[in-house]
């Protein structure tokens, strides 16, 4: 009997190809594990048992015929904002509680094409707006390391599912840190590619100039395997970049020697937990031991990334979420008096508090008289932050620092003040504003909780970012630690 | 009217020292087509005031002659596609998600008397 849950995505894909076990066997075990822990973690919004077993049987036939793809028969989960044909796509919102997607997102279609079996849709902050998974209409996700703590967000369900080894890999999205922050808080590997690298078609939009799809897995090697299948040009996404996708798996072995690592001075300033800093500095010494050279760099405008984000993201959100009108799909209020009442009550009832707060913030900063002062101003500062990154990448290959200021925090600890919650993403937002690829990998523990190390690279340097993360995981085992209750 | 114009002007000038009023929250909610209960208004008044105050930090950053950045990949222009029909007629499938349809049309309350 193979211990499925302690195997990586890469190992499961290889085991299936070698016919060591069947996809039906593996998928069945995976579904049983998801169902056994759903009560404790609430990591899933929908479990697609019947469809998954059907897909698994078909994967087994492909494997028998020798026609399998890179992920044939491997169970994965999708964050519940990727449209999945015939399956509810709720976005963690009452607004879409009744929405059955009529089509597949490109990411979903490509992973299916590669043979992956979908076992369910993971819980998330409503419309991906949150850093703790507490804004979900379906209730919060619990952190597998300690159920009284949050898993991070917005991709908290995907991160918790991988941390508890309910699945070996899950899709996720990152608008301001929604892949990397939960990866750090749950002790898994979270990869956000360059803006435009992965198609956003069929991914419910939050902030269109920032949103990007990526992966949550147990290792960088697994992220490389998944991303290779997800990435690439898509005519259905007008911001998709037509550029060849390197073989990320083949590039993992790229030697580190002489790698120039930039330490972001601004990342080590006030607010960083002293123990988190210690773990990050220990990781940097590991890189030095592998032949990398460290230099300190400064991005003077980076401290403004959170205020820039909380103008740009709400502005784009208020515009994107105007499509939810109670007319064509989604929640509709009872007995509307007139059209305006229909709009107002459907939206007022369908959206949760954080989503409404962001829509209104966006509406305010875009309204007459304020546009120049807030939105245009934020876009100008965004230019300065982007220029800071460009300047840094002239002298270093990657930037490394912490992913989050602290380890996971308690449920309810940061819900009263939006700013306290927003500052969780202080180290991750920069990469979204500049559209850069970035990964978070586990780099140790503080008070028995995992801590994340963030690696940021220039545009389209996913292969380099993944190989830098992989090199660390070859000489450390933080990424293979599993929370006690799920070992 | 003049007073309202002035208060807009005043908040426009002093970005960082403002608290939004109940009336402003009600007006923003109206623009955003969001029905708020009377109990919700003070909650958003507090939250939005904090956020607007927080993002006011941008005001202290010198940005004269800086080009606003709307898209993270500089120099990339919006792609155009040939002007051909690519959509298939799937209105029945799409309308299966609609709250109310009849004869292929979305139904809403009467708009014109």
Span A466-470, mean pLDDT?
Answer: 98
- The b-or-e profile of B18-41 (16+ CB within 10 A means b, else e) is bebeeebbebbbeebbbbbeeebe
Confidence of residue B74 (pLDDT cuts 50, 70, 90): confident
Predicted complex: ipTM over 0.90: yes
Interface contacts A/B by beta carbons within 8 Å: 181
pLDDT in tens, A110-128: 999 999 999 999 999 999 9
Considering only CB atoms, B36 lies closest to which of A235, A327, A348, namely: A348
Q: Residue A393: inside a domain, yes or no? A: no
Cβ separation of A338 and B76 shorter than 8 Å?
A: no
Of residues A351, A261, A111, A450, the one with CA closest to residue B35: A351
Q: Which residue of A has its CA nearest to B63?
A: A380
Q: Residue A155: inside a domain, yes or no? A: yes
Q: Residue A443: inside a domain, yes or no? A: no
Q: Structure pTM?
A: 0.95
Q: How many angstroms separate the Cα of A387 from the Cα of each of A295, A380, B66?
A: 19, 11, 11
Calculate how close chain A gets to B52, using CA atoms only, in Å: 8
Q: Which residue of B has its CA nearest to A389?
A: B72
Cβ separation of B58 and A377 shorter than 8 Å?
A: yes
Q: Which two tokens stand for residue A383?
A: 């230019």
Confidence of residue B81 (pLDDT cuts 50, 70, 90): confident
A208 is catalytic: no
Confidence of residue A1 (pLDDT cuts 50, 70, 90): low
CB neighbour list of residue A21: distance below 8 Å, 6 or more residues apart? A2, A4, A15
CA distance A230 to B58: 36
Q: Does B18 touch chain A (CB under 8 A)?
A: no
Cβ separation of A327 and B106 shorter than 8 Å?
A: yes
Q: Residue B108: inside a domain, yes or no? A: no
Confidence of residue B6 (pLDDT cuts 50, 70, 90): very low
pLDDT in tens, A149-207: 999 999 999 999 999 999 999 999 999 999 999 999 999 999 999 999 999 999 999 99
Q: Which residue has the higher pLDDT, A244 or B2?
A: A244
Q: Residue B6: inside a domain, yes or no? A: yes
Question: Is the pLDDT confidence value at B2 over 50?
Answer: no
Confidence of residue B73 (pLDDT cuts 50, 70, 90): confident
| Residue A109 contacts residue A116 (beta carbons within 8 Å) | no
**Residues in chain A within 8 Å Cβ distance of B35:** 341, 344-345, 347-349
Tokens 């010198």 belong to residue: B62
Of residues A266, A204, A206, A209, the one with CA closest to residue A434: A209
Q: Does B44 touch chain A (CB under 8 A)?
A: yes
Q: Residue B45: inside a domain, yes or no? A: yes
Q: How many angstroms separate the Cα of A425 from the Cα of each of A232, A272, A420, A435?
A: 27, 12, 10, 15
Question: Is the pLDDT confidence value at A320 over 90?
Answer: yes
Q: Residue B50: inside a domain, yes or no? A: yes
CA distance A179 to A82: 14
Q: Strands B101-102 and A260-264: what pairing?
A: unpaired
CA distance A128 to A214: 14
Of residues A291, A84, A123, the one with CA closest to residue A204: A84
Q: Residue B40: inside a domain, yes or no? A: yes
Q: Residue A381: inside a domain, yes or no? A: no
CA distance A18 to A29: 19
Residue A133 is predicted with a pLDDT of 97
Q: Strands B101-102 and B105-106: what pairing?
A: antiparallel
Of residues A437, A350, A454, A445, the one with CA closest to residue A401: A454
Whole-number average pLDDT of chain B? 83
Q: Residue A49: inside a domain, yes or no? A: yes
Q: How many angstroms separate the Cα of A329 from the Cα of each of A90, A351, A462?
A: 12, 14, 37
Q: Does B65 touch chain A (CB under 8 A)?
A: no
A178 is catalytic: yes
Q: For position A45, which CATH number holds?
A: 3.90.1300.10
Cβ separation of B99 and A318 shorter than 8 Å?
A: no
Question: Is the pLDDT confidence value at B24 over 60?
Answer: yes
Residue A382: φ, ψ to 5°: -60, -40
Helix (H, G, I), strand (E, B) or coil at A299: coil
A79 is catalytic: yes
Helix (H, G, I), strand (E, B) or coil at A45: strand
Within 13 Å and on the Cβ side, how many CA atoms surround A367?
18
Residue A97 is predicted with a pLDDT of 98
Query: Which residues lie across from A401 on neighbouring strands?
Result: A454
**Residues in chain B within 8 Å Cβ distance of A338:** 109-111
Residue B11 is predicted with a pLDDT of 37
pLDDT in tens, A35-69: 999 999 999 999 999 999 999 999 999 999 999 99
What is the full DSSP assignment across A245-256?
PP-TTGGGG---
Whole-number average pLDDT of chain A? 97
Rg (CA), chain A: 21
Cβ separation of B58 and A326 shorter than 8 Å?
A: no
Q: How many residues are given for chain A?
A: 487
pLDDT in tens, A5-25: 999 999 999 999 999 999 999
pLDDT in tens, A220-271: 999 999 999 999 999 999 899 999 999 999 999 999 989 999 999 888 887 8
Cβ separation of B58 and A329 shorter than 8 Å?
A: no
CA distance A421 to A414: 6
Cβ separation of B48 and A433 shorter than 8 Å?
A: no
Q: Which residue of A has its CA nearest to B48?
A: A361
Residue A257 is predicted with a pLDDT of 85
Q: Residue B67: inside a domain, yes or no? A: no
Confidence of residue B22 (pLDDT cuts 50, 70, 90): very high
Q: Which two tokens stand for residue A206?
A: 């939050």
Residue B87 is predicted with a pLDDT of 86
The edge-to-edge listing of strands for the beta sheet with A260-264 is A44-47, A117-122, A75-79, A169-174, A212-217, A189-192, A438-446, A449-456, A398-402, A260-264, A293-297
Q: Which residue has the higher pLDDT, A288 or B16?
A: A288
Question: Is the pLDDT confidence value at B75 over 90?
Answer: no
| Residue A83 contacts residue A101 (beta carbons within 8 Å) | yes
**Choice among A75-84, A421-430, B22-31 with the minimum mean pLDDT:** A421-430
Instruction: Report which secondary-structure segment, H or E, holds A360.
Output: helix A353-366
Q: Does B98 touch chain A (CB under 8 A)?
A: yes
Question: Is the pLDDT confidence value at A310 over 90?
Answer: yes
Confidence of residue A457 (pLDDT cuts 50, 70, 90): very high
Indicate the number of domains in chain B.
Answer: 1
**B30: domain range?**
2-60
pLDDT in tens, A132-158: 999 999 999 999 999 999 999 999 999
**Which of A7, A46, A79, A461 is labelled catalytic?**
A79
**A33: domain range?**
9-256+461-486
Span A376-400, mean pLDDT?
Answer: 97
| Residue A380 contacts residue B63 (beta carbons within 8 Å) | yes
Sign of CA dihedral B34, A201, A109, A155: negative
Indicate the number of domains in chain A.
Answer: 1
Whether omega before A173 lies within 30 degrees of 0, making that bond cis, reads: no
Question: Is the pLDDT confidence value at B113 over 80?
Answer: no
**Residues in chain B within 8 Å Cβ distance of A340:** 33
Q: Strands A44-47 and A117-122: what pairing?
A: antiparallel
Residue A484 is predicted with a pLDDT of 95
Span B18-45, mean pLDDT?
Answer: 95
Question: Is the pLDDT confidence value at B8 over 80?
Answer: no
């Amino acid at each position: 009997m193979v211990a499925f849950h302690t195997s990586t995505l890469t190992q499961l894909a290889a085991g299936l190809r070698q016919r060591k076990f069947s996809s039906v066997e593996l998928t069945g075990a995976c579904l049983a594990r998801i169902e056994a822990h759903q009560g404790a973690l609430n990591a899933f919004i929908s479990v697609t048992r019947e469809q998954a077993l059907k897909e698994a049987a078909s994967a087994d036939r492909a494997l028998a015929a020798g026609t399998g793809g890179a992920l044939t028969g491997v169970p994965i989960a999708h964050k519940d904002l990727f449209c999945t044909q015939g399956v509810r796509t709720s976005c963690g919102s009452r607004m879409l509680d009744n929405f059955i997607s009529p089509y597949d997102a490109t990411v979903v279609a490509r992973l299916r094409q590669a043979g992956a079996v979908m076992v369910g849709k993971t819980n998330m902050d409503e419309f991906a707006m949150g850093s703790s998974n507490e804004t979900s209409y379906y209730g919060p996700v619990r952190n597998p390391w300690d159920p009284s703590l949050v898993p991070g967000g917005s991709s908290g369900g995907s991160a918790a599912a991988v941390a508890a080894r309910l699945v070996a890999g899950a899709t996720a999205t990152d608008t301001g840190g929604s892949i990397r922050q939960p990866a750090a808080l749950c002790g898994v590997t979270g990869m956000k590619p360059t803006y435009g690298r992965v198609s956003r078609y069929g991914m419910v939009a939050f902030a269109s100039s920032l949103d990007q799809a990526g992966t949550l897995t147990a290792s960088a090697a697994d992220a490389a395997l998944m991303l290779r299948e997800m990435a690439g040009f898509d005519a259905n996404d007008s911001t998709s970049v037509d550029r060849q996708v390197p073989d990320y798996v083949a590039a993992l072995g790229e030697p580190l020697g002489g790698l120039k690592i930039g330490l972001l001075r601004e990342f080590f300033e006030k607010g960083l937990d002293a123990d988190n800093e210690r773990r990050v500095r220990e990781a940097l010494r590991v890189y030095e031991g592998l032949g990398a050279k460290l230099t300190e760099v400064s991005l003077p405008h980076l401290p403004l990334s959170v205020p820039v984000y909380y103008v740009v993201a709400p502005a784009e959100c208020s515009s994107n979420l105007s499509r939810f009108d109670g007319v064509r799909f989604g929640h509709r209020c009872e007995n509307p008096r007139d059209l305006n009442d229909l709009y107002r009550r459907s939206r007022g009832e369908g959206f949760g508090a954080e989503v409404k707060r962001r829509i209104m913030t966006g509406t305010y900063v875009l309204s007459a008289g304020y546009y120049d002062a807030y939105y245009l101003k934020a876009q100008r500062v965004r230019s300065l932050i982007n220029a800071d990154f460009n300047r840094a990448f002239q002298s270093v290959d990657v930037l490394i620092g912490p992913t989050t200021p602290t380890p996971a925090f308690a449920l309810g600890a940061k819900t009263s003040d939006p700013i306290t919650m927003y500052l969780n993403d202080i180290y991750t937002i920069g990469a979204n504003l500049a559209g850069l690829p970035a990964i978070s990998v586990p780099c140790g523990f503080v008070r028995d909780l995992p801590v994340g190390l963030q690696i940021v690279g220039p545009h389209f340097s996913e292969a380099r970012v993944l190989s830098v993360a992989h090199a660390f995981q070859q000489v450390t085992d933080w990424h293979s630690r599993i929370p006690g209750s799920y070992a | 009217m003049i007073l309202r114009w002035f208060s807009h002007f005043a908040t426009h000038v002093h970005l960082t020292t403002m608290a939004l009023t109940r009336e402003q929250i009600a007006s923003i909610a109206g623009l955003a087509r969001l029905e708020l209960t009377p109990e919700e208004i003070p909650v958003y008044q507090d939250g939005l005031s904090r956020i607007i105050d927080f993002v006011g930090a941008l005001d202290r950053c010198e940005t004269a002659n800086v080009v606003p950045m709307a898209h993270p990949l500089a120099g990339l222009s919006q792609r155009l596609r040939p002007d051909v029909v690519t959509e298939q007629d799937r209105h029945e499938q799409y309308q299966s998600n609609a709250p109310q349809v009849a004869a292929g049309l979305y139904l809403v309350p009467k708009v014109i008397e």
